[in-house]
Structures are given as structure tokens and as C-alpha cells.
Amino acid sequence: MAWSANFDDFNIDDNWPSPAQPQLDFYVQVIIGVVLAKEEPRAIPSKKNPGTELYLVSFTLRDSPVDFINATCWGNELHIQQVAELFHIGDIVEICNAQIASKPSDGSDERFRPWTPSLYQLNISENHSTVKLYGGWSVDKYYSLQSIPIKASNDFYTLGDIIANGQNLHNAVVNLLAVVRSVGSPKDIVTKNKKHLKRCEVKLLDETCLSFPLVLWSIEQVILAQSWTTQDQVIFVADARVNYDDYKKCMVATATSKTIFILNPDTREAHSLYTFAQSVDTSEDDLKEMLDVANSEIDLNTITNVYNLEQLKAKVEPTNEGGTDLGITYAYVTNFDIDGETEKVIARRCTKCRMRLEKNKLSCSNQNCPLGFLNDDTMEVDYDMQFDMGLTLSDCTGSMHYCRAYGSVVEKMLGCTADEFQKYDDKKKTQLKWKFLLEKCKLYIKVTLPRFDRPNTLTRILDCQVANPQEALVNQR
């Protein structure tokens, strides 16, 4: 009797040997499933015939909401190349006469392959087994498996969490839930050992960050990414590696051979994120900067580099990649106009899309906002108020204008919320102003480096406090 695809049939019961027993040698007639992950063909030295090579291609197959398994197809170079070209991630395949084998008990089988809940793996032999695209009537059933999570729906880091943790998460393996903001063009890379690779950079977004890089190196993953619809595709990225990129000065996620992508997962968290993404106008730099809430969550203790303003201003040459830099500077606050026009200190933002409301208007001007139908002067939208202001800093090397301070950073400086501040009279505001104006301060700075498509350097204040005179003298640059 043929299985039409149910790996649950391989679970251990009284009729099956335990994992401690010798490897199984059992063949199953038919298995059908959707391909969740796939590697490129490769060759390994043969132990039985020294001096020769074995060719293989590995992939991960899923046939039910709870069952997926790793499979390896073995054969000569031409056969493996033909199998590899037959299907890609997301295709449905039918495998005949595959061998069921126990996974190694030491976990070595999954060091470079996706984790699976099965105790077994499939071996597909050129001489005894076949692999072909499935052409039956149950296609929709298998395609739907691509959207069913393989991990708990809340088992992921937000992009803001990763940025906030910074180098504490360097080289960590994490799960992500994000919307595809953009998919870059694949680039051909040749390594020092003449290996040809494909590289593709995908930009992700969520409620905490509107642009976060995910790098793909696998040809199969790059092919998959080319089918993603920007700002309309939610992906759950299982087991991606995150690193601090010294060149870009930011955290970067990388998909590895262990990574699995779940497309548009049918979960509450994913639906909520999709709704958010539809409301975001990613062309708005102001919105992008405001939504990057991780700026105020960065662990300041990890920032140690000290710069003077001349050194900070030197970071003006646009690059392809942009990136960020973090540092400390000791400078005088020479412009801190908090007792002038309120609109220059406080921003009113729509609670739905976070777009800044125009002066003297209570309607949201974002046409993609869920409240866009209220977009006229006679209808009010819900909004909240947050500090959003510019400062000028000066030291012996020069001045730096348009340094931005947002939200909780200003609240900490002034000791009040934006709502409380706007109720203060001019005398009170002026008193707060002179706590910092013309005082030498210790400032934690985040500089978003320019790119060719965004030529301006963006300088963000992460923390500002009046400097200890002795500390400032020691760190004078």
C-alpha cells in the first residue's frame, strides 16, 4: 500500500525500533509533499571508493501541518543535476521507493540542515528511487502547507529587538516575522576558492523598524525571493543567523542552509503585521525615522567610541550600503528652541499609520492610512503627541545642525511628557531650556550614513545629559 504523504506514519510505536537501534532499512512506495527548503547540488568524497566522489542534493519535504522531514537524493553528477533542476522551494514533488533511515542520535544530521520533528530521514537512490513533480488533484492541499507555522506563532524577535540587543545577539540564530519591503537584484559572487555564489539582499519591515537587511546566499533562496511581492508578503523566517556587520555598522540577518521560510503564515501576529504594512508609506523618510523605535532602546553601555563633531561630520560620502555608526560626543548645546513654536518641538501623529499630521489639521494626509476615508478637514482622527525636535551642537572643531531628538529621549531630558510640556507656560519652558542651552553635554549619537539614493546624513540623539566636567576634559578631542 502506498502512502499519499503522512510522515506521522513513521512515528515510533511498539512496532518500530527505538532510535538507539541500528539504522532502519525500510522503503516506502510513495511520498508527496511541498518543498520547504532546498540546497544546491554538491559532491563529497566516497568512503567506499577512495579517489571518487558522490553527488547529492538535499531538501526538506512537508506533507501535513505537523510533519516535515529532510531528504537526500544520491547519484552520479548528471542525475543529481537533473533532479536539482526539476524543482525548487515551493514546488510539490512525488517520491517513489525512498529509504527511511533513522537520524544520527548525535544531531550531526541537522548541523547544516533544517531542524525537523521527525526521527527519520529519506534517502533517495538513483538506482532504486524516483523524484518527479506532483500532478495529482490535491495540489491546493499541499500548497497551503507553506503558510502553516513550523514554530510557535509568537516565537520570534522583532526587528527592533535585534537592533536594541545589538552585538549581544552577534552570531545568534533567531526567528523573524516581517514584511518584505524590497528585494534586491541577485548578484554573482566568486569566492577566493573560485566558488560561484548568488547574493541577494532583502529589506524587511515590521512595527518596530522600517528597513532591516536580510542577506540570501543560496541560489534556491534567491529564486524564492524573486517571487515575493514587496509590502504584501509576510514571511516567518525560521532559524536565521544575525550578526553585527562591522562595515555597515548595523545588525544584519543571513539565511543559512538551516533556514526555512513560511509564507504569509496564518497567525494573529502575521495578520496584524500585514494590516500595519498596508498602512505604511515607506517612501516617507520622516515616518521611517520615527518608526525606528529601536534607536532609543540601544544599550548605551555598548557604545564606547568617542568622536568630536568634525569627525562625525566627516561621515558624508554616500555609499551603496549606507549603514549606521554609534558614538559619544562631548559638545555644547547651542540651539535648543523649546520655548518657541510648539510644532517645532512636538509632533502629532496618527495612531493608525504614525504619519505626522499637518499643521492646523486634524486629518491624516496618508492616502494609505486605514483612516484615509476620513481624509478631510471636517473629520478628526485619533492622534498622539511625541517630542520631535532639532538641536545644534558645537565644540572646538565646529557645529553640527539638525541633530534630531525624539520621544523618550526628550522626555528624559525635560522630565515630562509631550502632553505635559504643551501645558507649561513660557516661563516654565524657558527654565527647562536653560538647563541645557550653552551647557557642555555628554551625548550618545546614532549617525545613519548616507547612500546614493538618500544623500543626507541623519544624526539622532540617543541620550543627552549635562557632562561631568572632569569626564569631559579627559575625553576632549
Q: Give the CATH superfamily of 159-278.
A: Nucleic acid-binding proteins (2.40.50.140)
**pLDDT of 278 strictly over 50:** yes
Helices (DSSP H) in 144-206: which residue ranges?
159-165
> 181: burial class by Cβ within 10 Å (0-12, 13-18, 19+)?
buried
Q: What is the pLDDT of residue 179?
A: 94
The answer to whether 389 and 403 are in contact (CB under 8 A) is: no
Hey, is 271 helix, strand or coil? helix
Q: Give me the residue spans of the domains in the chain.
A: 7-146, 159-278, 285-474
Q: What are phi and psi of 125, to 5 degrees?
A: -95, 140
| Mean predicted confidence (pLDDT) in 99-116 | 82
The answer to whether 366 and 343 are in contact (CB under 8 A) is: no
Q: What is the pLDDT of residue 410?
A: 93
Q: What is the pLDDT of residue 11?
A: 42
**pLDDT of 318 strictly over 60:** no
pLDDT tens for residues 170-213?
899 999 999 998 888 788 888 777 777 888 999 999 888 888 99
Helices (DSSP H) in 107-237: which residue ranges?
139-143, 159-165, 219-225
| Mean predicted confidence (pLDDT) in 296-306 | 80
CB 146: neighbour CB atoms within 10 A? 19
Q: What are phi and psi of 249, to 5 degrees?
A: 60, 45
Say what the alpha-carbon torsion angle 68, 74, 77, 82 is, to the nearest 10 degrees. -40
pLDDT tens for residues 33-87?
999 999 988 888 877 778 778 899 999 999 999 999 999 999 898 999 999 999 9
Q: What is the pLDDT of residue 12?
A: 34
pLDDT tens for residues 157-168?
999 888 888 888
Q: Give the CATH superfamily of 285-474.
A: Nucleic acid-binding proteins (2.40.50.140)
Which pLDDT band, with edges at 50, 70 and 90, does 344 fall under?
A: confident
Which among 281, 415, 396 is positioned nearest to 329, based on CA atoms?
396
User: What span, in angstroms and rounded, lies between the C-alpha atoms of 347 and 47?
Assistant: 68
DSSP 312: H
User: What span, in angstroms and rounded, lies between the C-alpha atoms of 36 and 59?
Assistant: 7
Hey, is 214 helix, strand or coil? strand
Q: What is the pLDDT of residue 161?
A: 86
pLDDT tens for residues 125-169?
888 888 999 888 888 889 889 999 999 988 999 998 888 888 888
| More confident position, 248 or 260 | 260
User: What span, in angstroms and rounded, lies between the C-alpha atoms of 402 and 213?
Assistant: 27
Which pLDDT band, with edges at 50, 70 and 90, does 254 fall under?
A: very high
Q: Is the dihedral of CA 280, 285, 287, 293 positive or negative?
A: positive
User: What span, in angstroms and rounded, lies between the C-alpha atoms of 119 and 7?
Assistant: 10
Q: Do 159-278 and 7-146 have the same topology in CATH?
A: yes
Q: Which three cell numbers stand for residue 113?
A: 540542515
**pLDDT of 10 strictly over 90:** no
For cell 548541523, name the residue.
Answer: 111
Q: Which three cell numbers stand for residue 457?
A: 546624513
3-class SS string, 77-91: HHHHHHHHHHCCCCC
**pLDDT of 421 strictly over 90:** yes
**From the centroid of its chain, how far is CA 3?**
38
Q: Give the CATH superfamily of 7-146.
A: Nucleic acid-binding proteins (2.40.50.140)
Highest mean pLDDT (candidates 8-12, 445-449, 467-471): 467-471
Instruction: Tell me the pairing of strands 250-254 and 324-335.
Output: unpaired
- In sequence order, the 6+-apart residues with CB closer than 8 A to the CB of 63 are 5, 6, 7, 31, 32, 33, 34, 142, 145
pLDDT tens for residues 353-379?
666 666 666 776 655 555 544 444 455
Q: What is the pLDDT of residue 450?
A: 58
pLDDT tens for residues 228-253?
888 788 999 999 999 988 777 788 99
User: What span, in angstroms and rounded, lies between the C-alpha atoms of 330 and 442?
Assistant: 5
User: What span, in angstroms and rounded, lies between the C-alpha atoms of 286 and 268?
Assistant: 29
Q: What is the pLDDT of residue 186?
A: 84
User: What span, in angstroms and rounded, lies between the C-alpha atoms of 277 and 205?
Assistant: 8
Q: What is the mean pLDDT of the chain?
A: 81
For cell 531630558, name the residue.
Answer: 413
